[in-house]
Structure 1
């Protein structure tokens, strides 16, 4: 099962040096298969994204992704982009640039739409309780989506323990994504 690290500035800082130091600590303990730079607050996104791509490449992370900005992902040499559930219309453009595309989904209809538009993978969330993310979907709902959708699915939302990872793995997901599990 694939491991997908997602950054958050409250744990990684909002300056390139702090981000690099945080990534060095985390990557020295665990190397995820996928890593996403996500910071919705900074005014220095390009500089931080460049640091993230550079550090992640030095640790040979298999898939290095940026959040939401497929043009910047392409310019900085990231492997791909992770879109929000409001960016379905950008999938085609990102794929045309050769990027690996993950998109956030929260319903079966969104998951099916992502698949039909050619996304490479989806996150489906929230599976467990997660701060400010609404009512958890739960494992039964996750299993239903896995059985209906053919593209890779990352379980996301409130995954912080090995027991939760084992539970989502039993549902047949491609992997899990988390912020807090990796810190």
Structure 2
């Protein structure tokens, strides 16, 4: 299972982006539109609320056999038996995280340099998220990454590479030269009136 993950259209959640819908409906519509992987990202909520949201999201992702990744929170990921976790550079060390989640769960690491990406691979990451590729409002502290650096990372590690940060249907073509494994999207799907149609457009753009 872990080795057959399709990273091509990777949705990261942000409930504040939603237009006239709830996160569960939005995730389902996004999957219907072609999203292949979902990362649940929640900031500033209680552990109980995170657990409850994650449990309900997982019933949606399970229905469509789409892997669910939990951002930061290993405890939440294990408690709902999510497919894996995604960690940032300031989160728990990857080697420790791997020892907790075991070898059958997916572990992704956020990176912005070749050195960080190589270190993530060495420490057992299954994929890296690379960014921010373009200006983004969802992560104020993200380092800017050039397409050249993205390609350099892709060419020098053997695990999948997913680009993240301000990616839209209009600029996604700029990334094709890097031959990456997927794109992570937040606002260009979730902030749209029709989530399914937005996902379909991005799907068409990356095919």
Alignment partner, residue 70 of structure 1: 74
Does the alignment pair 1:118 with 2:124? yes
* Runs of at least 5 residues in structure 1 that lack an aligned partner in the other structure: none
Does the alignment pair 1:20 with 2:24? yes
* Runs of at least 5 residues in structure 2 that lack an aligned partner in the other structure: 1-6, 191-207
Match of 2:115 among 109, 126, 133: 109
Alignment partner, residue 179 of structure 2: 172
What number of residue pairs does the alignment pair up?
A: 177
Provide Cα deviations, 1:55-87, integer angstroms capped at 9, x if missing partner. Answer: 1111221x2111112232122121111111223
- 1:19 Cα deviation (Å)? 2.0
Structure-2 change in CA distance of 1:113 and 1:95 (3 Å): farther
- Do the aligned partners of 1:168 and 1:176 also contact (CA within 8 Å) in 2? no
Alignment partner, residue 34 of structure 1: 37
Which consecutive aligned stretches of 4+ in structure 1 deviate over 3 angstroms post-superposition? none
TM-score scaled by length of structure 2: 0.77
Does the alignment pair 1:47 with 2:52? yes
Structure-2 change in CA distance of 1:128 and 1:21 (3 Å): same
Structure-2 change in CA distance of 1:102 and 1:172 (3 Å): same
> Please, what is the CA RMSD of the aligned residues?
2.1
- Do the aligned partners of 2:112 and 2:144 also contact (CA within 8 Å) in 1? no
**Farther-moved stretch of structure 1 (74-83 vs 88-97):** 88-97
Structure-2 change in CA distance of 1:19 and 1:168 (3 Å): same
Alignment partner, residue 9 of structure 1: 15
- Do the aligned partners of 1:124 and 1:154 also contact (CA within 8 Å) in 2? yes
